[in-house]
């Protein structure tokens, strides 16, 4: 009797996302769950940084450090960052120089300029929530307009205005309720349609191999 050959399972592509806060965690987890079927078909597994690590938010240095610690453990490692602050601990640039195989990174480089240095998409890949923060991304993905942000305002004041606007859309300030809000108010069709005009989501879906 001949033994039947067992089908070899196709290896999964693993993706790790280090994000800055609970709001990012809830939003990205919703996207992961919403497209679970498509990700399974493409043999993609996503792990998002543990929510307890994001309870009080985080600096770009902390999130990049988390991403760098995991860069060899996954096929793709993403550092999802807000664009409202600059990196203060420039030692992180030395680590990125090694990981990205690039020359010396200027200490006063912006986050947007920094991410563009990674032309070969080596780990960690930086994705920036723009303008300024995750709140602006969520406001637009929910089909609303970003409030007018006076150029004279500081970056913090602008982000506070975005947060207040988003809380008004949600009707609450409890971040733990946001996932349920997405379930009830953000369909897959609407998300795909609106994400086409949001750069950070276009980059994310390209990595996930999901066509918008």
Return the pLDDT at 50.
76
Tokens of 101: 């195989």
- Cis amide linkage into residue 124, ω under 30° from 0: yes
pLDDT at 5: 56
Supply the pLDDT for residue 101: 98
Q: What was the pLDDT predicted at 88?
A: 93
d(CA 78, CA 126): 6
For position 20, what pLDDT does the model report? 85
pLDDT score for 82 = 96
Please identify every stretch of the chain with a pLDDT value under 50, giving residue numbers as ranges: 55-56
């Amino acid at each position: 009797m001949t033994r039947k050959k067992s089908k070899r399972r196709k290896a999964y592509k693993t993706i790790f996302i280090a994000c800055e806060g609970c709001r990012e965690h809830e939003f990205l987890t919703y996207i992961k769950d919403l497209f679970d079927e498509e990700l399974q078909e493409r043999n993609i597994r996503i792990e998002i940084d543990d929510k307890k690590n994001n309870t009080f938010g985080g600096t770009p240095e902390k999130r990049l450090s988390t991403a760098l610690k995991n860069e060899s453990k996954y096929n793709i490692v993403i550092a999802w960052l807000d664009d409202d602050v600059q990196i203060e601990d420039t030692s992180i640039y030395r680590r990125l120089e090694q990981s990205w195989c690039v020359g010396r990174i200027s200490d006063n480089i912006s986050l947007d300029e920094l991410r563009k240095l990674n032309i070969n998409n080596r780990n960690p890949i930086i994705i920036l929530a723009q303008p300024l923060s995750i709140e602006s991304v969520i406001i637009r993905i929910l089909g609303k307009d970003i409030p007018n942000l006076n150029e004279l305002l500081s970056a913090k004041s602008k982000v506070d205005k975005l947060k207040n606007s988003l809380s008004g859309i949600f009707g609450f300030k409890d971040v733990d309720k946001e996932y349920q809000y997405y379930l009830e108010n953000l369909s897959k069709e609407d998300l795909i349609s609106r994400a086409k005009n949001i750069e950070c989501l276009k980059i994310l879906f390209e990595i996930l191999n999901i066509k918008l």
